[in-house]
Structure 1
Amino acid sequence: MDRIGLPPAYTRPEAAAAGLTRAQLRDDGVRVTRGAYVSTAVPLGLRAACLAALPVLPAGTVFSHRTAATLLGAPLRAGWPVHLTVPPGTHRPRRARFAAHVCALGEGDVTTEHGLPLTSGVRTWLDLAGLLPPGELLAVGDALMRAGHLDAATLAHRLAGTTGRRGVVTARALAGHLTPLAASCPESLVRHALLSSDLPGPEVQVPVQDPRGRVVAHADLGYRRWKIAVEYEGRQHAERAQFDRDIDRYSLMAADGWLVLRFGHAVLGRLGTVVDRTRRALISRGATW
């Protein structure tokens, strides 16, 4: 496609203007939607699909909901349909693999990322509050904070002026628990399981000190008062270098009296196990609540 001078994402009029024949378009272009294509020379990712589609969508289109969250770095699986929002009074596009929403977006509701108009972090999170399970919503909020697209003050201000919106009760319940310190989606899901139980809420990135007061490690989650750490270990922990670092870290923690509860991917399908074992660990340390 370089010899014809087309970008990786292009429209049918652009292809015609560049002299692309129907046969060449058929061979090179992967159709994202009517009139919009992505060259087979590049992967058909979410950003490329949105860049290709934007010129054939109504003026004022903003990508939103799951699509915006994914492009802002949230841990959601990118895929169809592509979600977009258009202003009231605008033609609502009806296209296969696209989900159109009609809404007036206000000040602070729109941002630009990757060359695309997206709903802002706070707007995106509130849009998803009525659609995602609470644990996933917490994970998305943590990720948006971690990426710098959401902050506690802006969210609190927005929630104070929001009434009658679907999911707002859930959003208010979770807003105070969002943190940029959460390192991954599974860690957020584990934390939500503990927060939604009757157990004390865990701290995030708990510093572990040696007898001299030096911080020698950090626990993903934990209870400093009772020296209990809750660790989620993803696939990267199986790599040799990381495994060796983990062994050293856990031995340091154990040497100073910490009880470490380690969980892997399988526990995400039975988060009650995390709650049960954390409860037993707390009781073994004499905790009451």
Structure 2
Amino acid sequence: MDDVELPLVHTWSEARAAGARRRQVATDGRRLTRGLYLSAAAEQSLPARCRAWTRLLPPDAAFGLGTAAALLGGHTDPPPEVEVVLRPRPVLPQRRGLAVHVRDLRAEDVTEVAGLRVTSGAQTFLDLAPRLPPAELVAVGDALLRAGRLDAAALDRRLGRAGRTRGVVRARECAPLLSPGAMSRPESLLRYWLVTSDLPEPQVQVPVLDRWGRVVAHADLGYAEHRLVIEYEGRQHAEAEQFGRDVDRYSLMAAGGWLVLRFAGRHLGGPAVVVERTRRALLSRGWRPPS
């Protein structure tokens, strides 16, 4: 007996009713949970998996928390379980591979991504606040701002009606620190550590000018007054073409009298090295701590 053609998303009962043999059902698709399959021929992306899950979810369900952060462009890895948010109800769905959270969502707390109902950037930020350390929460918030999925007014409104929601204190403390200018998680971490230290607050995407006042480069972070810039070197900077561009940038900065501090992945374990080296560099450039 030949295999039958199955849709990209199907349940066990649908496949069997279509004439598929047990072996075909078990081997042709990826089992998401009991009785729900995503065809091996389908895109195995997070949106595709979430679309498959909607077959088993109530219509008002919204993907939330870590799943929402990934869908919204928060530059986070999706959690092992798909996370959804539902309004309170007597019986909640219970499935292996699914984590259900109860929230009293309003219409403005839900948005759409790739045809999926997803908690808004503001709601997602608030929901992640009890789970993430402040530096990581700021990094997610920065990414949501860059992606256009969060804005200060919406976040202010959501936090304003959060009451005593778990994590709201941390969310309110971190909200003023967000900036769309930090272009990656490492840059957000460096900026958070400096902003929350006793050093001056750094600028983001600092323009570096030559002697004729022309912009010749932009630095991740820095202090224009002291001609000090701070750069994070990710793995992409080791690529030959990027390395060549970096050489040009750093040469132009040095020619203009700028001091460049460079940090890498090994420095992301904590703030001590970043803050201390920045302090020493600032002192060398004439900065003095307030008395």
Corresponding residue number in structure 1 for 2:87: 87
Q: Any conservation in 2 of the 1:83–1:100 contact (CA below 8 Å)? A: yes
What amino acid sits opposite 2:284 in the alignment? S
Corresponding residue number in structure 2 for 1:138: 138
Q: Any conservation in 2 of the 1:6–1:18 contact (CA below 8 Å)? A: no
Q: Secondary structure at the match of 1:127?
A: helix
d(CA) in 1 for partners of 2:270 and 2:138? 18
d(CA) in 2 for partners of 1:109 and 1:18? 39
- The alignment's TM-score, normalised by the length of structure 1, stands at 0.94
Q: Any conservation in 1 of the 2:205–2:218 contact (CA below 8 Å)? A: yes
Corresponding residue number in structure 2 for 1:39: 39
- The alignment's TM-score, normalised by the length of structure 2, stands at 0.93
Deviates more, 1:59-68 or 1:234-243: 59-68
Corresponding residue number in structure 2 for 1:218: 218
CA-based RMSD = 1.7
Q: Secondary structure at the match of 1:194?
A: helix
Corresponding residue number in structure 1 for 2:71: 71
Matched, 1:119 2:119: yes
Q: Any conservation in 2 of the 1:58–1:91 contact (CA below 8 Å)? A: no
d(CA) in 1 for partners of 2:34 and 2:255? 63
d(CA) in 2 for partners of 1:157 and 1:85? 20
What amino acid sits opposite 2:264 in the alignment? G
Q: Any conservation in 2 of the 1:31–1:38 contact (CA below 8 Å)? A: yes
Report deviation, 1:213: 1.0
Corresponding residue number in structure 1 for 2:7: 6
What amino acid sits opposite 1:223 in the alignment? Y
Q: Secondary structure at the match of 1:257?
A: coil
Report deviation, 1:17: 4.8
Deviates more, 1:20-29 or 1:229-238: 20-29
Q: Any conservation in 2 of the 1:46–1:79 contact (CA below 8 Å)? A: no
Report deviation, 1:75: 1.9
Q: Secondary structure at the match of 2:107?
A: coil
What amino acid sits opposite 1:213 in the alignment? G
| 4+ runs deviating over 6 angstroms | none
Q: Secondary structure at the match of 2:208?
A: strand
Matched, 1:268 2:262: no
Q: Secondary structure at the match of 1:176?
A: helix
Could you give the per-residue CA deviations for residues 83-115 of structure 1, whole angstroms, max 9, x where no partner exists? 111121152122222111112201211111122
What amino acid sits opposite 1:4 in the alignment? E
Deviates more, 1:153-162 or 1:237-246: 153-162
Report deviation, 1:152: 1.3
Structure 1: segments with no counterpart, 5+ residues: none
Q: 1:91 to 1:176 in 2, by over 3 A?
A: same
Report deviation, 1:143: 0.7
Deviates more, 1:62-71 or 1:51-60: 51-60
Report deviation, 1:278: 0.2
Matched, 1:148 2:148: yes
What amino acid sits opposite 2:170 in the alignment? T
What amino acid sits opposite 2:122 in the alignment? V
Q: Secondary structure at the match of 1:269?
A: coil
Corresponding residue number in structure 1 for 2:245: 245
What amino acid sits opposite 1:288 in the alignment? R
Report deviation, 1:132: 0.6
d(CA) in 2 for partners of 1:266 and 1:100? 36
Corresponding residue number in structure 2 for 1:27: 27
d(CA) in 2 for partners of 1:22 and 1:14? 12
Matched, 1:179 2:182: no
What amino acid sits opposite 2:162 in the alignment? T
Q: Secondary structure at the match of 1:220?
A: strand
What amino acid sits opposite 1:154 in the alignment? A
d(CA) in 1 for partners of 2:121 and 2:17? 37
Q: 1:62 to 1:228 in 2, by over 3 A?
A: same
Report deviation, 1:160: 2.8
Corresponding residue number in structure 2 for 1:189: 189
What amino acid sits opposite 1:28 in the alignment? D
Corresponding residue number in structure 2 for 1:49: 49
Q: 1:262 to 1:274 in 2, by over 3 A?
A: same
d(CA) in 2 for partners of 1:139 and 1:106? 26
Q: Secondary structure at the match of 1:135?
A: helix
Q: What is the percentage of aligned positions where both structures have the same residue?
A: 53
Deviates more, 1:246-255 or 1:92-101: 92-101
d(CA) in 1 for partners of 2:235 and 2:36? 38
